[in-house]
């Protein structure tokens, strides 16, 4: 069978159902083409993409510059492994470390691998630099976190589905309430073996849970005071999504020069993935300064594909596009407009309780019980009306279009969303 033989969406869904593991519950949209903010299904129906592959496609689908960098590199050399050098990796590392203002970068492929990498660096730093007795290091994490799907990472999840029957679990994590500085202060006081704090600046999967503006700067300050590494998982929030280069930039408008801003909560370990490649290729990375990164020596960590020339070429172009097309400013301006429009709608709505988020990472909270199917049903109706979005935990729908969206398109989407929600008014 060939891909050309797939003539209908149902046929594609049936194939996946029969031959693939059932580890996802997708909306029944079968996409075969993407360009900018749009995707098309097998039948040729056009949609606005309001998920952007969980914020991987910030630069828009099939961005010609990113595709160009990828195909050009793919025709030259794709994989050398790190047993040898390649002529692209160092150029990318120089570019990305200057872009984010860190001394060094460690390249991986997926987000979960980058989180694992940060955890490993943090523990090694704790034993070799901070002097915590070996195997005693603890890492603080937060309720309702999402950091990926590896055995270690799901060990500190409190999502039943992600965790249950995958034990035994990796020890060494302490879970506390999110957006609660007092809990962090307390645990740092009580436990002297804490090596790091791993945090999402906004909890995307938990439903775009956006903490108070003071929270992340307070976490950073407490980490500093206690000689604990501040590890920011910016896999979903980073790279212009929230209207700044990184969500830890807060609300400054410095376009990658956050180090000069008082509001910047600079991470000790910055974790990136998703939009680092604009969704063209799996690329992730951890960035840190020398005195932390130097704990990793040859043979102690790696990945066959990590830092391959295609990944390096793609990521460099993807970051350049973010800067050239001023995607952070666009996300900031259009995000404000989006929330303003939806807030007007909510004033008289019985079906939506709340809109929250920052930049173009937003969500609405549906006025129905957590276990009702209302959010799913709304997403199905949005699909009919030409817009793709997906429910997150509880009765919450995330809205995260590619950041290349323009004002006219955004207002068109707002009217699709309003029209659809009206069908569900009680």
Ligand X SMILES: *Cc1c(COP(=O)(O)O)cnc(C)c1O
CB of residue 203 vs ligand X: minimum separation in angstroms? Answer: 8
Instruction: Say whether 139 sits in a helix, a strand or coil.
Output: strand
DSSP states along 64-84: HHHHHHHHHHHTT-----TTS
Rounded to 5°, angle at Cα 229 from 227 and 232: 150
CA pair distance 100, 24, nearest whole angstrom: 34
Binder to ligand X among 48, 54, 209, 281 (CB under 6 A)? Answer: 54
Q: Which stretch binds ligand X (CB under 6 A): 97-105, 142-150, 212-220, 239-247?
A: 142-150
Please list the active-site residues: 146, 233, 274
CA pair distance 163, 151, nearest whole angstrom: 9
CA pair distance 305, 79, nearest whole angstrom: 7
CB of residue 270 vs ligand X: minimum separation in angstroms? Answer: 13
DSSP states along 398-423: EE---TT--HHHHHHHHHHHHHHHHT
Binder to ligand X among 61, 124, 147, 358 (CB under 6 A)? Answer: 147
| Residues in 309-368 at the binding interface with ligand X, rule: CB under 6 A | none
CA pair distance 115, 405, nearest whole angstrom: 29
Binding mask 274-303 for ligand X (x = CB under 6 A): x-----------------------------
What is the four-CA torsion angle of 139, 142, 148, 152, rounded to 10 degrees? Answer: 40
In this complex, which beta carbon is closest to ligand X, that of residue 73 or of residue 157?
A: 157
Instruction: Say whether 225 sits in a helix, a strand or coil.
Output: helix
How far apart, in Å, are the Cα atoms of 273 and each of 277, 284, 373? 8, 4, 31
What is the four-CA torsion angle of 104, 107, 108, 114, rounded to 10 degrees? Answer: 20
Residues 6+ apart with CB under 8 A from 126: 132, 137, 193, 195, 196
Residue 203 DSSP label = B
41 near ligand X, judged by CB under 6 A:
no
Q: Which stretch binds ligand X (CB under 6 A): 122-130, 219-227, 231-239, 290-298?
A: 231-239
CB of residue 145 vs ligand X: minimum separation in angstroms? Answer: 8
In this complex, which beta carbon is closest to ligand X, that of residue 204 or of residue 278?
A: 204
CA pair distance 310, 46, nearest whole angstrom: 30
> What b/e sequence results for 373-407 when a residue is b if at least 16 CB atoms lie within 10 Å of its CB, and e otherwise?
ebbbebbebbbebebbbbbbbebbbbbbbbbbbee
Binder to ligand X among 47, 146, 156, 338 (CB under 6 A)? Answer: 146
CB of residue 87 vs ligand X: minimum separation in angstroms? Answer: 27
Interface size with ligand X, residues (CB under 6 A): 15
In this complex, which beta carbon is closest to ligand X, that of residue 184 or of residue 232?
A: 232
CB of residue 55 vs ligand X: minimum separation in angstroms? Answer: 7
Binding mask 182-221 for ligand X (x = CB under 6 A): ------------------x---x-----------------
In this complex, which beta carbon is closest to ligand X, that of residue 54 or of residue 338?
A: 54
Binding mask 95-134 for ligand X (x = CB under 6 A): ---------------xxx--x-------------------
In this complex, which beta carbon is closest to ligand X, that of residue 147 or of residue 349?
A: 147
Binder to ligand X among 107, 148, 278, 335 (CB under 6 A)? Answer: 148
Cα dihedral sign, 171-172-177-179: negative
CB of residue 301 vs ligand X: minimum separation in angstroms? Answer: 17
Q: Which stretch binds ligand X (CB under 6 A): 6-14, 83-91, 145-153, 310-318?
A: 145-153
CB of residue 398 vs ligand X: minimum separation in angstroms? Answer: 11
Binder to ligand X among 211, 243, 267, 273 (CB under 6 A)? Answer: 273
Binder to ligand X among 41, 116, 233, 268 (CB under 6 A)? Answer: 233
Phi, psi (deg, nearest 5) at residue 287: -115, 140
Residue 355 DSSP label = E
In this complex, which beta carbon is closest to ligand X, that of residue 99 or of residue 146?
A: 146
Phi, psi (deg, nearest 5) at residue 25: -125, 75
- What is the end-to-end Cα distance of the chain in Å, rounded? 47
CB of residue 186 vs ligand X: minimum separation in angstroms? Answer: 25
Query: Which residue number is nearest to ligand X in terms of Cβ?
Result: 111
In this complex, which beta carbon is closest to ligand X, that of residue 234 or of residue 268?
A: 234
| Chain residues that interact with ligand X, rule: CB under 6 A | 54, 110-112, 115, 146-148, 200, 204, 233, 235-236, 273-274
């Amino acid at each position: 069978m060939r891909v050309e033989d797939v003539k209908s969406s149902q046929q594609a869904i049936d194939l996946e159902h029969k031959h693939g593991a059932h580890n996802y519950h997708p909306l029944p949209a079968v996409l075969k083409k993407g360009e900018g903010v749009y995707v098309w299904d097998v039948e040729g129906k056009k949609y606005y993409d309001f998920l952007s592959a969980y914020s991987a496609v910030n630069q828009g689908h099939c961005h010609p510059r990113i595709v160009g960098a990828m195909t050009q590199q793919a025709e030259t050399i794709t994989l050398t492994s790190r047993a040898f050098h390649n002529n692209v990796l160092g150029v990318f590392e120089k570019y990305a470390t200057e872009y984010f203002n860190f001394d060094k970068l460690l390249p991986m492929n997926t987000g979960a691998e980058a989180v694992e990498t940060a955890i490993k660096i943090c523990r090694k730093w704790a034993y070799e630099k901070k002097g915590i007795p070996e195997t005693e290091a603890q890492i603080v994490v937060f309720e309702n976190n999402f950091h990926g799907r590896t055995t270690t990472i799901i060990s500190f999840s409190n999502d039943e589905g992600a965790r249950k029957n995958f034990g035994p679990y990796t020890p060494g994590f302490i879970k506390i309430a999110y957006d609660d500085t007092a809990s962090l202060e307390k645990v740092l006081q009580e436990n002297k073996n804490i090596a790091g704090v791993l945090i999402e600046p906004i909890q995307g999967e938990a439903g775009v849970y956006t903490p108070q503006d003071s929270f992340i700067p307070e976490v950073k300050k407490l980490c500093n005071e206690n000689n604990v590494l501040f590890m920011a998982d910016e896999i979903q929030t980073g790279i212009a999504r929230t209207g700044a280069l990184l969500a830890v930039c807060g609300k400054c408008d410095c376009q990658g020069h956050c180090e000069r801003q008082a509001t910047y909560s600079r991470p000790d370990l910055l974790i990136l993935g998703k939009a680092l490649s604009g969704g063209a290729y799996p690329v992730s990375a951890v960035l840190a300064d020398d005195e932390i990164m130097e704990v990793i020596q040859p043979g102690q960590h790696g990945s066959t594909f990590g830092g391959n020339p295609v990944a390096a070429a793609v990521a460099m172009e993807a970051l350049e596009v973010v800067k050239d097309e001023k995607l952070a400013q666009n996300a900031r301006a259009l995000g404000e407009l989006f929330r303003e429009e939806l807030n007007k709608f909510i004033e008289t709505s019985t079906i939506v309780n709340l809109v929250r988020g920052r930049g173009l990472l937003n969500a609405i909270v549906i006025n129905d019980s957590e276990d009702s199917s209302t959010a799913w049903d709304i997403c199905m109706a949005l699909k009919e009306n030409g817009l793709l979005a997906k429910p997150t935990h509880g009765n919450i729908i995330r809205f995260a279009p590619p950041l290349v969206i323009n004002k006219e398109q955004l207002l068109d989407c707002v009217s699709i969303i309003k029209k659809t929600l009206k069908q569900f008014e009680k």
